[in-house]
Every structure is written in C-alpha cells, then in structure tokens.
C-alpha cells in the first residue's frame, strides 16, 4: 500500500450511491494508470456519476460511447494513439451488462484482433444504472427487479469466455482489495496487446447491504471462494494472495448469502447448490494453478 500514489485522480464530488464498489475500484485503477490515460465508458452507472462537463469527477479525459461499442471505440482510439507514437493508456471501464451481455461482440472482436488496450469490467451483478434489472452476470438466487423471486439460472462465466481469447494478461479482482487492483492494473498496462480485468464491485442498493459494509461484503465473497482472485500472464496462471489464504479454509457461502437482502429468497436447496458449485470451482482453480506451476 505504501507504493500507491497519494495523489487522487478522482475529485471529491461523485454522485454515486454511498458505498459504491465501482468507484472505490476506479480510484485505485486511476492511481495505477496515471495521467496519460483516457477512459472509455459505455452506458452504465459510471457514465452518470462522472457529472457533466466542466463539473467532472475525473481528472483524465473520458469518452462516453454507446452501450455496445466500448471495445470498438477503444480499438480505434488505441490505433490512433499508436499511429502518432503515443503510449497513452486506453482503458475501458464498463459494467457487467455492458460487457457480459450487450458489449460482448465488440469485445470479442477487439481481443481477437489483438488491440492494445485494457478492458476493465466492474461487476455489480446487474443493470444497476437503470434500477437493478438482471444481467447475464447476476448470480443464481439473486433478486433483481426482473427476477423478483431470485434468478433461476447461473451467472455467466465471463472469465472463461474471455480466457478463450488467450490474452497476454487477464485477471480478476475485487473492490475490497485496493492494493491487488493497483498491482494488477500496473502489470496489465506494462504489457502490450489486449488485457482484461474483471472486478467484483459490491453495490449497496442493488445487493441490499448497508453502505458501510461494501468492503466487508467483498471480502466475504473472496473468503467464501464464490469470487476468486487470480491472474493469468500468457500461460502462467496464479491464484492471488487473498484467495490463496482463503482457499485453505473457505468460509461458508451461506454467510455471504445471508449478509445480503438480494439473496433473502434463497432456500436451503439452492444454497446447497451454490455451495456445491463453489466447491467444484475452487477445485478446478486449484488444479489449474498446480498445472501451471508444474509446467512453468
């Protein structure tokens, strides 16, 4: 933490909800990226909380773009900067709806073409800005305005979809671990080509949690193993320190579910199903890390 610059790249006037996980993450993303950065933001909470020029939250240029087009826009922007010899960081900051659902075609194309930019998806697990409708990233059992009895299908495994593009750098993170975010963004931006980071961003109004518990809820996700922090640099897959510690003895997923109003309709059978999915995923991730280490 001592290496993280004290200078703030976000001004103290965000119109976020109190305890917004995506804003906390962005604070550390921009500290890592520095001034020579352009943000590309499609329609999402972050396109609203930025304010209206000249009363802006950000101290770097922001380009707002249509929902489906963030990765296409970042591709063109990055190509243009590189054509004139500039190394300016191009960072997409997009929600889960704009990434896992509506922007996935442009994203897949840009990743496959090998464009030089960093795409960050902050995942509040619903279409937050428009009032918390379910997205492909909403987890099983979660209540949203369009799943009033809890979502009946699983969260889309966005990371495995992205992984199929064989990126030079891919990682997961969580708003509750700012030093981990900072290090991952720094590393990502040091590598040429397409990079992707998927950040779990607790959302107090959407998740029905007290605003002062954002950091705690994110930590509960990691400690239970329902959210795993890892990074993949080319073929080298590593589990990040907080998850390595958590995976020795994961806490019950039920504790994480019970802490949030959005899971209040989850019955015992669904809770057991979610726990079984988490157990299976943790085994897969541990095996992947072991394989990567053996074959390094």
Ligand X SMILES: Cc1ncc(C[n+]2csc(CCOP(=O)(O)OP(=O)(O)O)c2C)c(N)n1
Residue ranges binding ligand X (CB under 6 A): 43-45, 67, 95-98, 124, 126-130, 135
Smallest gap from Cβ 199 to ligand X, in A, equals: 12
Q: Choose the contact partner of 130 out of Mg ion, ligand X, none; CB within 5 to 8 A by kind.
A: ligand X
Smallest gap from Cβ 145 to ligand X, in A, equals: 11
For every residue of 113-128, DSSP letters joined together read HT-S-EEEEEE-SSBT
> Based on CB atoms, which residue is closest to ligand X, 64 or 270?
64
Torsion, CA 283, CA 286, CA 291, CA 296, rounded to 10: 170
Instruction: Check residue 128 for interaction with Mg ion (CB under 5 A).
Output: yes
Q: Which of the residues 191 through 220 are near Mg ion (CB under 5 A)?
A: none
> Based on CB atoms, which residue is closest to ligand X, 59 or 130?
130
- Do 174 and 229 touch, CB atoms closer than 8 A? yes
> Based on CB atoms, which residue is closest to Mg ion, 99 or 240?
99
Smallest gap from Cβ 195 to Mg ion, in A, equals: 20
Q: Residue 295 burial (CB < 10 Å; 0-12/13-18/19+)? A: exposed
Nearest CA among 94, 89, 60, 66 for reference residue 77: 89
Smallest gap from Cβ 227 to Mg ion, in A, equals: 15
Q: Across the chain, which distance is largest between two alpha carbons, in Å? A: 59
Residues in Cβ contact with 86 at an 8 Å cutoff, skipping those fewer than 6 apart: none
> Based on CB atoms, which residue is closest to ligand X, 38 or 121?
121
Would you state the structure tokens that stand for residue 227, as one six-digit string? 């959210």
Q: Are strands 51-52 and 55-56 parallel, antiparallel or unpaired?
A: antiparallel
Radius of gyration from C-alpha coordinates of the chain: 18
- Do 26 and 55 touch, CB atoms closer than 8 A? no
Smallest gap from Cβ 129 to Mg ion, in A, equals: 7
> Based on CB atoms, which residue is closest to Mg ion, 69 or 282?
69
Number of separate helices (H) and strands (E) present in the chain = 12, 10
Residue 120 CA to residue 16 CA, distance in Å, equals: 19
Smallest gap from Cβ 95 to Mg ion, in A, equals: 4
Instruction: Check residue 98 for interaction with Mg ion (CB under 5 A).
Output: no
Instruction: Check residue 42 for interaction with Mg ion (CB under 5 A).
Output: no
Measured from each CB, the residue nearest to ligand X is 95
Among positions 28, 31, 60, 96, the unique one binding Mg ion when judged by CB under 5 A: 96
Q: Choose the contact partner of 150 out of Mg ion, ligand X, none; CB within 5 to 8 A by kind.
A: none
Instruction: Check residue 136 for interaction with Mg ion (CB under 5 A).
Output: no
> Based on CB atoms, which residue is closest to Mg ion, 68 or 285?
68
Residues that bind Mg ion (CB under 5 A): 95-96, 124, 128
């Amino acid at each position: 933490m001592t290496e993280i610059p004290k200078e703030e790249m976000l001004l103290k006037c965000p119109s976020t909800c109190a305890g917004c996980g995506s804003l906390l993450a962005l604070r550390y993303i921009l500290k890592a990226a520095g001034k020579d950065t352009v943000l590309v933001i499609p329609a999402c909470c972050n396109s609203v909380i930025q304010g209206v020029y000249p009363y802006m939250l950000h101290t770097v240029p922001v380009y707002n773009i249509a929902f489906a087009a963030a990765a296409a826009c970042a591709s063109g922007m990055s190509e243009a900067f590189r054509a004139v010899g500039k190394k300016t960081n191009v960072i997409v900051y997009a929600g889960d709806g704009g990434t896992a659902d509506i922007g996935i075609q442009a994203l897949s194309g840009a990743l496959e073409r090998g464009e030089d930019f960093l795409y960050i998806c902050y995942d509040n697990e619903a279409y937050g800005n428009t009032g918390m409708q379910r997205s492909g990233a909403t987890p099983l059992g979660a209540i949203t305005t369009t799943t009033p009895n809890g979502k009946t299908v699983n969260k889309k495994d966005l990371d495995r979809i992205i992984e199929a593009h064989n990126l030079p750098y891919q990682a997961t993170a969580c708003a509750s671990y700012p030093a981990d975010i900072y290090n991952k963004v720094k590393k990502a931006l040091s590598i040429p080509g397409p990079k992707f980071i998927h950040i779990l961003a607790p959302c107090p109004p959407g998740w029905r949690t007290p605003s002062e518990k954002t950091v705690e809820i994110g930590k509960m996700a990691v400690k239970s193993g329902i959210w795993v922090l890892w990074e993949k640099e080319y073929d080298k897959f590593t589990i990040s320190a907080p998850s390595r510690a958590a995976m020795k003895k994961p806490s019950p997923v039920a504790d994480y579910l019970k802490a949030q109003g959005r899971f209040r309709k989850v019955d015992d059978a669904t809770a057991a199903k979610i726990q079984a999915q988490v157990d299976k995923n943790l085994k897969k991730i541990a095996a992947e890390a072991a394989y990567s280490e053996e074959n390094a």
